[in-house]
């Protein structure tokens, strides 16, 4: 579905790992077997090599982003730029072919609306699947799971014409606005519903029963008991929805037309095709600016991940 | 009668809670999927209303050399990137599943590249692969390779370059495998050890069967993901040189939004949908032979 706007090529895999992610990020040592000293040394060597391959591109990006144009053309290239040119980052903001501040603002507007929408609506639907018994619940749940397999490109063309039709018939424009990128999020997204349902199932039924005896309505139970108890899971959903919107390229590419409306991802690509050419130092500075928030958020929210999964783990 | 009324009330209440998803499913999934089926039988340029043409689009696709090319490219990319990537991810996950010092730091670092937005990683790798100034070729030069490949500008090397690059992002699947590995009961290893099984045999007889559901899951997601590869080649090569990195979803996008052949694009979209369904069914069927679910 488009609603979680995670339709980059890694989108499905990204969403799928969400529950598992925190488990693996837990700082507890693996439950693996005890090894010999020599074996451990080999392991360290292999892991250091792998980590070097993972991290060198980042360092290279950072290094290039601080170089002068001449230094990027140097052979052999230097890892530590000399002189360090911090103003590349300012140049990116001031560049005539780019408007990164506006693009960041656009991305944040879409992200706030999208994250709020998908978290609230997915929680509501997940409550229905987890805590209410009714005819047809099982098949509907299976149907919902099946929609996770549907790739965005399959519906891309007809969604585009649907939004065009809506624009012609609803009295307000859809294409060329942010609406196609956040409105669908308010109708729940299959993966988030699934994740929250799994979490809600771990909350004892007795709590709901007690509230029901006290005369609380289902909506009251949902708002006053389930939601407050599920903050960690809601945080996980919100976090990943945010990442999905931050990373999304195909959605904005299809629906947004004017540069003033671009998101950061689309803007960065536009910047590269219009002004990139050979100014690798500016391009790398711009890329760093797009990557940094995602990485910062990950480090800031590591605790959220861990808490969320730890709670699921102990209650499950 | 009261039981019936009770059931009916429960149904209404349940559907009320489900209503956001039910509405969204109808409007943003069922309608578009049906519409695109209809469009796929039409000539539709967006500017004029769709004109029914029967199977014409599918017949054209059958004879379309570009469609064959993108299909071939997608399959080749999938056959290279998917198995190698899964193998590498599993290997790294096994390494990360040992009780050694600093393992959580290693885990974090291996995962970091997965956080990079596709557009930013495309920029970064464009620069790394740059045939004259890129880090890769300057390093190869320094190591004494006289004529390093032209990577993205070389017909023979553009595809391998994209495959190589895809390994940078295996952190996602590493994490999934790691979670799977941590669920393997210790007793199984202890039992195998008592039976005198070597480390290698333990991997084969204990680890792999135990995490086979995870492998299966990654396989399905990988196949579906391969069919959708878009942003990276779109930005880095635009499908070139000589269409050597022109993939399925790019052709779909170009037909829809560059050539405005919405009907033709819809036919491509439906073929994509059918392939996803068929591949998922195939993977599900084959999994019966090699996926072991615990406690079943």
Q: Per-residue confidence at A11, pLDDT binned at 50, 70, 90? A: very low
Chain A CB contacts of B224 below 8 Å: 12, 149, 151
B263 pLDDT above the threshold of 90: yes
A126 pLDDT above the threshold of 90: yes
How much is the pLDDT for A265? 94
**Region A111-130 average pLDDT:** 96
pTM, whole model, 2 decimals? 0.87
Q: With a CB-CB cutoff of 8 Å, which residues 54-73 of chain A face chain B?
A: 54-58, 60-61, 64, 72-73
How much is the pLDDT for A316? 31
The nearest CA of chain B is from the CA of A304 a distance in Å of 15
* Domain-wise residue ranges, chain B: 64-290
**Whole-angstrom Cα distance, residue A185 to residue A177?**
15
Q: Per-residue confidence at A31, pLDDT binned at 50, 70, 90? A: very low
How much is the pLDDT for B47? 80
CATH tag, B64-290: 1.10.3720.10
% of chain B with per-residue pLDDT over 70: 98
SS3 state at A208? helix
Answer whether B127 sits within 8 Å of A61, measured CB to CB.
yes
SS3 state at B145? coil
**Whole-angstrom Cα distance, residue B254 to residue B144?**
41
How much is the pLDDT for B174? 86
The nearest CA of chain A is from the CA of B226 a distance in Å of 7
Greater model confidence, B289 or A219? A219
Q: Is B25 on the interface with A (CB under 8 A)?
A: yes
**Region A258-273 average pLDDT:** 92
What is the Rg, in whole angstroms, of the alpha carbon atoms belonging to chain A? 23
B88 pLDDT above the threshold of 60: yes
How much is the pLDDT for A307? 52
How much is the pLDDT for B289? 75
The nearest CA of chain B is from the CA of A46 a distance in Å of 8
* Sign of the CA dihedral with A171 first, then B31, A151, and B126 last: negative
Q: Is A90 on the interface with B (CB under 8 A)?
A: no
Q: Is B211 on the interface with A (CB under 8 A)?
A: no
A184 pLDDT above the threshold of 60: yes
How much is the pLDDT for A170? 80
**Whole-angstrom Cα distance, residue A279 to residue A287?**
12
SS3 state at B241? coil
Q: How many CB atoms lie within 10 A of CB B153?
A: 15
Q: Is A235 on the interface with B (CB under 8 A)?
A: no
Q: Is B253 on the interface with A (CB under 8 A)?
A: yes
Answer whether B114 sits within 8 Å of A14, measured CB to CB.
yes
**Region A161-180 average pLDDT:** 88
**Region A228-241 average pLDDT:** 89
How much is the pLDDT for A173? 84
Q: Per-residue confidence at B230, pLDDT binned at 50, 70, 90? A: very high
A2 pLDDT above the threshold of 70: no
**Whole-angstrom Cα distance, residue A217 to residue A225?**
11
- What's chain A's average pLDDT? 83
pLDDT in tens, B163-188: 999 999 888 888 888 888 887 888 88
Q: With a CB-CB cutoff of 8 Å, which residues 66-105 of chain B face chain A?
A: 92, 95-100, 103-104
Q: Is B4 on the interface with A (CB under 8 A)?
A: no
Structural domains in chain A, CATH included, are 90-315 (1.10.3720.10)
How much is the pLDDT for A276? 60
Strand-pairing partners, residue A89, are none
SS3 state at A302? helix
Residue from B5, B6, B17 to probe the interface with A (highest A Cβ count within 10 Å): B17
**Whole-angstrom Cα distance, residue A3 to residue B22?**
13
A312 pLDDT above the threshold of 60: no
Chain B CB contacts of A150 below 8 Å: 29, 33, 273, 276
How much is the pLDDT for B164? 95
pLDDT in tens, A65-80: 999 888 888 878 888 8
How much is the pLDDT for B248? 93
**Region B227-243 average pLDDT:** 91
**Whole-angstrom Cα distance, residue B122 to residue B295?**
44
The nearest CA of chain B is from the CA of A200 a distance in Å of 14
**Region B137-147 average pLDDT:** 88
Q: Per-residue confidence at B214, pLDDT binned at 50, 70, 90? A: confident
Chain A CB contacts of B141 below 8 Å: 75-76
pLDDT in tens, B19-33: 999 999 999 999 999
Q: Which residue of B has its CA nearest to A43?
A: B95
Minimal CA–CA distance to B90: which of B64, B110, B120, B119? Answer: B110
Q: Per-residue confidence at B116, pLDDT binned at 50, 70, 90? A: very high
Answer whether B20 sits within 8 Å of A125, measured CB to CB.
yes
% of chain A with per-residue pLDDT over 90: 49
Q: Per-residue confidence at A306, pLDDT binned at 50, 70, 90? A: low
Q: Residues for chain A: how many in total? A: 316
**Whole-angstrom Cα distance, residue A88 to residue A100?**
13
How much is the pLDDT for A277? 67
How much is the pLDDT for A6? 35
Secondary structure element (H or E) that encloses residue A234, with its range: helix A231-247
Q: Is A245 on the interface with B (CB under 8 A)?
A: no
Q: Per-residue confidence at A9, pLDDT binned at 50, 70, 90? A: very low
Task: Give the closest of A11, A24, A222 to B178, CB-based.
Answer: A24
How much is the pLDDT for B296? 43
Q: Which of B104-118, B128-142, B244-258 has the highest mean pLDDT?
A: B244-258
Greater model confidence, B86 or B292? B86
Q: Is A34 on the interface with B (CB under 8 A)?
A: yes
How much is the pLDDT for B295? 54
Q: Per-residue confidence at B1, pLDDT binned at 50, 70, 90? A: low
**Region B107-131 average pLDDT:** 92
């Amino acid at each position: 579905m488009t609603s979680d706007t995670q339709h980059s090529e890694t989108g499905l895999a990204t969403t799928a790992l969400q529950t598992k992610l925190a488990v693996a990020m837990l700082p507890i040592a693996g439950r693996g077997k005890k090894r010999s000293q020599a074996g451990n040394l080999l392991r360290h060597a292999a892991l250091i090599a792998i980590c070097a391959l993972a991290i060198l591109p980042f360092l290279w990006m950072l290094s290039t982003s601080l170089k002068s144009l001449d230094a990027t053309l140097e052979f052999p290239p230097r890892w530590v730029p000399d002189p360090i040119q911090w103003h590349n980052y300012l140049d990116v903001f001031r560049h005539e072919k780019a408007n990164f501040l506006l693009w960041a603002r656009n991305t944040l507007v879409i992200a706030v609306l999208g994250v709020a929408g998908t978290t609230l609506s997915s929680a509501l639907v997940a409550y229905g699947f987890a805590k209410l018994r009714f005819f047809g619940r099982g098949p509907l749940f299976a149907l919902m799971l099946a929609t996770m397999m549907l790739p965005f490109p399959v519906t891309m063309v007809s969604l585009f014409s649907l939004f065009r039709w809506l624009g012609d018939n609803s009295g307000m424009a859809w294409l060329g606005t942010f609406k196609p990128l956040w409105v669908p999020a308010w109708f729940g997204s299959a993966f988030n519903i699934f994740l929250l349902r799994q979490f809600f199932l771990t909350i004892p039924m007795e709590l709901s029963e007690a509230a029901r005896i006290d005369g609380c309505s289902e909506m009251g139970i949902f708002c006053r008991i389930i939601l407050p108890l599920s903050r960690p899971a809601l945080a996980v959903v919100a976090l990943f929805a945010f990442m999905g919107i931050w990373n999304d390229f195909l959605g904005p590419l299809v629906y947004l037309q004017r540069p003033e409306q671009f998101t950061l991802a689309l803007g960065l690509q536009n910047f590269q095709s219009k002004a990139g050419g050979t100014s690798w130092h500016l391009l790398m500075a711009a890329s760093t600016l797009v990557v940094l928030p995602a990485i910062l958020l990950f480090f800031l929210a590591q605790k959220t991940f861990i808490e969320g999964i730890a709670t699921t783990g102990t209650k499950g | 009668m009261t039981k019936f009324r009770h059931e009916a009330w429960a149904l209404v209440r349940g559907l009320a809670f489900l209503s956001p998803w039910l509405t969204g499913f109808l409007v943003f999934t069922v309608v578009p999927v049906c519409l695109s089926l209809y469009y796929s039988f039409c000539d539709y340029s967006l500017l004029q209303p769709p004109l029914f043409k029967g199977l014409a689009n599918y017949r054209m696709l059958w004879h379309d050399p570009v469609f064959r090319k993108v299909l071939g490219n997608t399959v080749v990319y999938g056959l290279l990137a998917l198995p190698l990537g899964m193998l590498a991810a599993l290997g790294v996950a096994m390494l990360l599943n040992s009780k050694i010092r600093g393992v959580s730091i290693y885990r974090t670092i291996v995962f970091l590249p997965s956080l990079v937005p596709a557009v930013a990683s495309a920029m970064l790798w464009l620069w790394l692969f740059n045939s004259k100034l890129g880090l890769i070729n300057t390093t190869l030069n320094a190591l004494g390779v006289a004529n390093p490949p032209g990577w993205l500008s070389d017909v023979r090397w553009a595809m391998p370059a994209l495959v190589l690059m895809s390994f940078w992002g295996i952190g996602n699947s590493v994490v999934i495998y790691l979670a799977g590995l941590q669920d393997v009961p210790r007793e199984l290893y202890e039992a195998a050890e008592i039976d005198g099984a070597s480390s290698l045999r333990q991997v084969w007889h204990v680890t792999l069967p135990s995490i086979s559901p995870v492998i299966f899951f990654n396989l399905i997601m990988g196949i579906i993901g391969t069919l959708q590869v878009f942003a990276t080649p779109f930005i880095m090569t635009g499908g070139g040189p000589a269409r050597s990195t022109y993939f399925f979803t790019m052709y779909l996008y170009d037909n829809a939004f560059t050539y405005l052949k919405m009907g033709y694009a819809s036919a491509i979209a439906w073929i994509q949908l059918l392939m996803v369904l068929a591949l998922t069914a195939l993977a599900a069927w084959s999994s019966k032979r090699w996926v072991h679910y615990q406690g079943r």
